[in-house]
Structure 1
Amino acid sequence: MYNILVVDDEPLICKGLAGLLNASGLGIGKIMTAASGEEALDYIRMEDIDLLITDIQMGEMSGIELMHQAKIVKPWVQTIIISAHETFQYAQMAIRLGARDYLIKPLNSEQFLDSVRSVLLKMDKPLPRTEEVLSGGQGYFRMEEPPPEVNEPLNRLLAETVEHPDEPYPEQPYYENIGITGPYFAVIKVKLALNGADGERPFPERDIPLMQYASLNIIQELLDRELDARVFYAPDRSINILAQWSEEAYAEQHANRISQLEMIGRSMHHHIGKYLKMDCTVGISQILKGLQFVHVLSRQADKAMLWAREHGDYHVFYYGDFSWHNYARDPNPDELSTQSNRIVDQAKAYIEENYCQKGLTIQEVARRNHVSPNYLSYLFKKMTGFNLWEYVVKLRMEESRSLLLHTDLRRYEIAERVGYESPEHFSKIFKKYYGVSPSDLKK
């Protein structure tokens, strides 16, 4: 059963689409509606959402921005965009962010349900190439493995230390011939759980090449949608990814490339687990300019994965989340724990000071603490027992309850004071939190 969130600032449209979905006979669990991007984000942060259906123009936060924020929180959430404008630029932006469809108002009921049905049917199917691999098929989507003449030089590029990094890389012409041009690069490493926790293999030795190959196909399929990258086997049976950007691509405005790499990493982990029933750990480097620094990026990705020793229940690690400069050697468990506690304490202090701020986001809290939003969310939950956004809501609800009981402020004034864009959104959250509406509590 799938959970669907419908977002439109016109209540009649939300009600109409929810009614169509309820009567469709599709395998739908819950249907939620929101009247703004901010309200929708609260649902996405705190509920299990499979499909987001959103209008593109909604005042403070557009459907495109909502879709982008949703992808940061949960990269696997699928999206259908609806719009009153048949504008190529909007459609192009939506498709680039991974929208599954772009529908024009006024909506045709059959077309709308066909679009939703198509998205839901694809959710439980492996990605096309992976489906071919797992079924042993030889169809159109079957992909060739990286040939040794490409695989080996790429691994050598990741391993070699350059003595004079200011000089041109000696083999640069060769790499340009195989499409490695950069000049900006990042390295992602995917360590497959080919051994169980007790050292035993979770599947027979003969199946390991197939699992590697299927993982490679999943990764390549995801990257084809998102990034210019080369995917190849590492000597230790893991999978290496060399991502690159041209000068023009790197200069694009509003492109948070580290967030993009993290979203891709989380999607890799999610899809490999979903389709292959196999765990993996992902290490992500920073981005540097110059082919001669690729070996540095490779070491960063390896170092990032060291944190899996401290956080066995977390799977995607970005090198920049950790203060490596504070340690002359790899940090021990006590040092790791101290750094984690410091990050959470700083985040709590910032939230307690700014929870009433309109438009407060997890991304802003993370940026203030110099870590990625997903790693901060994970640490916060682990250390405090609270989901980070639940903690923001808790503080807002406690303050609003106090204002309701001890002042004569109106509902819209209280909503404004505790950081909500609209009184209606505030009332929904309040009733969900306390089980009673603000007006009933006041009485």
Structure 2
Amino acid sequence: MYNILVVDDEPLICKGLSGLLTASGLDIGQIYTAYNGHEALDYVRMEDIDLLVTDIQMGEMNGIELMQQAKLIKPWVQTIIISAHETFQYAQMAIRLGAKDYLIKPLNSEQFLDSVRNALLKMDKPVPQAEEWLSRGAEQFRMVEPLPDSGERLSRLLHNPAEGDEEQRFIEAEQLGLAGPYFSVIKIKLAIPAEKEPSPDQEEDTRLFRYAALNIVNELLHQEWRAASFYTESLEMALILQWNEAEYAEPNLNKINQLEMLGRSLHHHIHKYLGLLCTVGISQILKGAGFLDVLSRQADKAMLWGGGHGDYHVFYYGDFNWHNYAQDPSTEELTTQSNRIVESAKKYIEENYRQKGLTIHEVARSNHVSPNYLSYLFKKNTGYNLWEYVIKLRMEESKALILNTDLRRYEIAERVGYESPEHFSKIFKKYFGVSPTELKK
């Protein structure tokens, strides 16, 4: 059964859509409602949400921003956008971020339920597991392997900076469909567990694992990214992603966040469907095909850096201050920098947790690292999920205010950073097991 979160700043619309879903007969477990993006993000963080249905124009955080942040928390959450305006720019942006549909208000009930039904069916679509792929044999596998010549030429662009002048590299890139002019490189290194490790005479199995992984990569890239994907080594793949001038200049789209969403989604799906772990290295974004070799080395370095973390798998090159070190940093230096980041984040949260609409992105920006990496470091060093720490501080202060003052519920909610007293009460009861009113009594 699937859990659905409906988000709209008009309570009547939330109630109406929830009623439609409840009576639909679809395979739905829980239906949650939120009246703004910040409330919605709390549900995404705390509940097992499968489908997000959100209005696009809501107060401080619009539906596009909510979709972006929800996917950073859980990349597999699917989204349907609803809007009162048929705005092409918003629709294009939503589809590029992976929205399953873009519906215009007033909503047609059947159209809405068809859209939800289709999104749920795609989630439920059976995907062959690794064993099934291996049992099919290469001749039955539907994946079309990249042409060897194409893969070799793409690899040359990444690994041979001295070969040809800049103009020649530009021509070579254009011939391979890489017009750019902005590029990033993602590399994926597969790790086959011991129980799946093929024997020396089973090279075919290794080849099928590669096929299967590249098939998943291409499915996730389909229609949402302009990219070339290919093998670079036996169990390593590379993706060259590109943006033209208009795409790169699009407002409200953080490209690094998009790359991280893609990286986490790649890792999640490869592990889910193949049972394989992988390490994902993400480069920065640079302008010009002449920098593809630089981007390739950045992705390699990010993966190499990631080797020291057994429980984290997606690494962005820009998350580490490489320029501070003449050579690759030692384990001690990595630890020192990590501790510094976490202490700085704690200080920022302790000073700002009462701020309405505080997001992980703001905390991450203050530390010049990505939200995902900051969340990982924070949990590793403190034992708390980063947002759990925000809630802990808010709940401790609100409890003290309930017990020691005569402030009303809405005043306490306002003081600790919640816009809605009802939402504050839900969080409070989930945290303490009793409502604010019950605690006061």
Give the equivalent residue in structure 1 for 2:372. 374
Equivalent residue, structure 1, for 2:401: 403
Match of 1:384 among 382, 385, 397: 382
Q: 1:311-390 maps to which residues of 2 (within 5 A)?
A: 311-390=309-388
Cα offset, 1:285, TM superposition: 0.7
In the alignment, which residue of structure 2 is the partner of 1:114? Answer: 114
Partner of 2:423 in structure 1?
Answer: 425
Q: How far did 1:22 drift?
A: 3.3
Q: Is the CA contact 1:158–1:295 (under 8 Å) kept in the aligned structure 2?
A: yes
Secondary structure at 1:31's aligned position in 2? strand
Q: What is aligned with 1:24?
A: 24
Q: Name the SS of the counterpart of 1:171 in structure 2.
A: helix
**CA drift at 1:351:** 0.6
Question: What is the deviation of 1:137?
Answer: 10
Q: Which residue of 2 aligns with 1:230?
A: 228
Shift of the 137–24 alpha-carbon distance from structure 1 to 2, 3 Å rule, reads: farther
Which residue does the alignment assign to 1:159? 159
Give how far 1:339 is off: 2.0
TM-superposed CA distance for 1:31, in Å, is 2.1
Q: CA deviation at 1:335?
A: 2.5
What CA distance in whole angstroms lies between the structure 2 residues aligned with 1:211 and 1:199?
Answer: 10
CA contact (8 A) 1:52 1:79 kept: yes
Q: Secondary structure at the match of 2:346?
A: helix
Alpha-carbon distance, 1:364 to partner: 0.8
| Structure 2: distance between partners of 1:144 and 1:198 | 27
Aligned identity (percent) is: 71
User: How far did 1:13 drift?
Assistant: 3.2
* 1:334-367, Cα deviation, whole Å (9 max, x unpaired): 3222222221111111111111111111011111
Report what 1:48 is aligned to: 48
Question: Equivalents in 1 of 2:363, 2:325: separation in Å?
Answer: 25
Structure 2 residue matching 1:174: 3-state secondary structure: helix
Deviations 1:284-305 (CA, angstroms, capped at 9, x unpaired): 0111222222211111111111
Amino acid at match of 2:251: Q
Letter paired with 2:160: E
Which stretch has the larger CA shift, 91-100 or 36-45? 91-100
Q: Give secondary structure in 1 for the equivalent of 2:82.
A: strand
Displacement of 1:87 in angstroms is 4.5
Equivalent residue, structure 1, for 2:259: 261
Mean alpha-carbon deviation: is it higher for 209-218 or for 52-61?
52-61
**Residue aligned with 1:399, SS:** helix
Q: Equivalent of 1:303, from 280, 301, 304? A: 301
User: What's the TM-score, normalizing by structure 2?
Assistant: 0.90
SS at match of 1:282: strand
Within 1, Cα distance between the matches of 2:85 and 2:174? Answer: 42
SS in 1 for 2:233: coil
How many pairs does the alignment contain?
Answer: 437
Alignment of 1:212-291 (within 5 A): 212-291=210-289
Cα separation, 1, equivalents of 2:204 and 2:415: 62
Match for residue 8 of structure 1? Answer: 8
Cα distance in 1, alignment partners of residues 196 and 330 from structure 2: 23
1:169 shift after superposition = 4.5
Whether the aligned pair in 1 keeps the contact of 2:169 and 2:289 (CA below 8 Å) is no
Alignment of 1:136-151 (within 5 A): 142=142, 144-151=144-151
User: What is the alpha-carbon root mean square deviation over aligned residues?
Assistant: 2.9
The CA distance in 2 between the partners of 1:220 and 1:328, in whole Å, is: 38
Change (3 A) 1:102 1:163: closer
SS of residue matched to 1:225: coil
Q: What are the Cα deviations for residues 146-166 of structure 1, in whole angstroms up to 9, with x where unaligned?
A: 2222211211221123499xx
Query: Does the aligned pair in 2 maintain the 1:127–1:221 contact within 8 Å?
Result: no
* Cα distance change of structure 1 residues 120 and 177 upon mapping to structure 2, 3 Å threshold: same
1:121: Cα distance to partner?
1.5
Contact 1:55/1:81, CA 8 A, preserved across alignment: yes
Contact 2:91 2:102 in 1 (8 A): yes
Q: Does 1:180 align with 2:178?
A: yes
Question: Any idea what SS the aligned residue of 1:424 has?
Answer: helix
Q: TM-score, normalised by structure 1?
A: 0.90
User: Structure 1 4/326 Cα, relative in aligned 2: closer, same or farther at 3 Å?
Assistant: same
Please give the alpha-carbon distance, in whole angstroms, between the structure 2 residues aligned to 1:75 and 1:361.
17
Within 2, Cα distance between the matches of 1:12 and 1:32?
A: 14
**Contact 1:133/1:142 (<8 A) preserved:** no
Partner of 2:291: 293
Structure 1: unaligned runs, 5 residues or longer:
none
Residue 189 of structure 1 contacts residue 240 of structure 1 at CA under 8 Å; is this kept in 2?
yes
Deviation per residue, 1:296-319 (Å, 9 max, x gap): 111111111123332111111111
Deviations 1:389-439 (A, max 9, x none): 111011011111112222232222222221112222222212222222223
**For the Cα contact (< 8 Å) 1:7–1:36, is it kept in 2?**
yes
> 1:183 Cα shift?
2.3
Contact 1:4 1:53 in 2 (8 A): yes
